[in-house]
Amino acid sequence: MTELASAYPTAGGLYFWAFRLGGRGWAWLTAWLNMIGQVTITAGINVAAATYIIGAVTRILGLPAEAPVPVFGTATSWSFQIAVMVLIMLPQIAINVYGIRLTARLNDFSVWWHIGGVAVIVALLVAVGTHHNSATFVFQRTTIVTPLEAASAEIGGRTVPALVIANLTLPSPLFALVPGLTALYATAPLALVLVLALLQAQWTYTGYDASAHVAEETVMARLNSAWGVFLSVAVSAVVGYVLLMVLTWSIPGGDVATTAKDAYPALQIAYGNLSPALGHLVAIVIGGAMWLCGLASITSMARMWYAFARDDGMPGARFLKRVHPGLRTPVWSIVATSALAVLITLYAAAFTVVTSISTIALYLAYAIPIYLNWRNRRRGAGEYTTRATAPWSLGRFGPTLNVVALVWVAFISVVFALPPNELVLWTMILLAVALAVYWLTSAKARFVGPPRREPAERRRS
């Protein structure tokens, strides 16, 4: 993707790449997958931030995790988390609408906040943390909840594998269709637990196409947008691994069960190791990082929807492609996509479902232009990246890495639709049917794809 960002530095990123490499049909599919992924990842980031901020505030104020909240019941109720999600999104939306320069500065600041925040947390836990476990503890396996328990809910007084849609709980169709699945999930083999646990890590490695979406607003975009894609993953790989290792190493008393069952595990580790004042500092650092991440996600999401609407690729495009003459921001796109992020959260009723949908949709969108680039290079026909067209180039390693990427995307697309994220499976099937019908009955005849415009012209549009 870095190589493609270097070759095609334009807003819309993946969508534009797919059009140049494969034509309007591939571009249309890529755009819809990317737009759905952008909405659901924004939803996942902000509902996670809301959940965390509730926990941080209750800890700082010395309140119980299940503190009563008028109207919503308790502080840990899903409805209260959604309400807080809306509240933290309001300033994110306002900044994206009214402060285009402030948005850019905050996104730059976010990088240093994340890196500096991790450095502070790691330094505090290592230097003054009161609990340090052994190296063998860090790498051992402990099963607290089996996959079967995670995929189950109470129906008719019995706990059975279930499909949860918002407030509706149904017996799991997948467990009924696949013999032996219940026994497999109950035994919790390491391979199954490992691949299911990949979701949170893989979800973290999304959104790096944001650098491509703002390429038209980037100086020396062919290099800087490409480096933005690459470094966002490379830095996260190193910094994130160090943070997770230190957090695991610092689990108070090595009590994994208590930490895992806590509504806010990171806070449980921080407050269990540090003085209240330092615990508060860690809580604020993490909360700020999550809020800044949500801000950047709305920026990227709105730019993607705007880019596709600019080419009349969706219903309501004439509104979504409007740029406010004074503010110079796509106001309709920002507001509409943010509202959709809240709605998808209401439908999913679980953080892992939102993250699974976003991960699968985004990675399928990532895979399409990678496949098209690999296909064209192999055929020696059409457009594909070369050292001449992409200053940031993988050279002779490109085709091999393309294949590795495609195999990995196929694998995670299956894994992340398995229970306890079964709703993702049926959602993606319905989504595929809906997109196919929409393409065949309307978009195929009407959608022509992005016009070929020079960067200066795209900036004026």
Domains, in order of start, for the chain: 2-146+188-460 (1.20.1740.10)
In the prediction, which pLDDT does 176 show?
93
Total-model pTM: 0.86
398 alpha-carbon distance from chain centroid: 25
What is the crossing angle of helices 221-249 and 100-128, to 10°? 30
DSSP line for 43-85: HHHHHHHHHHHHHHHHHHHT--TT-EETTTEETT-HHHHHHHH
Answer whether residue 24 shows pLDDT above 60: yes
pLDDT tens-digit series, residues 245-271: 999 999 999 999 999 888 789 999 999
Q: Give the chain's mean pLDDT.
A: 88
Answer whether residue 362 shows pLDDT above 50: yes
Q: How far apart are CA 302 and CA 360, in angstroms?
A: 20
For residue 265, what are its two tokens?
A: 């595990």
pLDDT tens-digit series, residues 167-206: 789 999 999 999 899 999 999 999 999 999 888 888 888 8
Q: What is the mean pLDDT of residues 223-252?
A: 89
Of the pLDDT bands very low, low, confident and very high (cuts 50, 70, 90), residue 110 is: confident
Which of 8-17, 83-92, 228-237, 338-347: highest mean pLDDT? 83-92
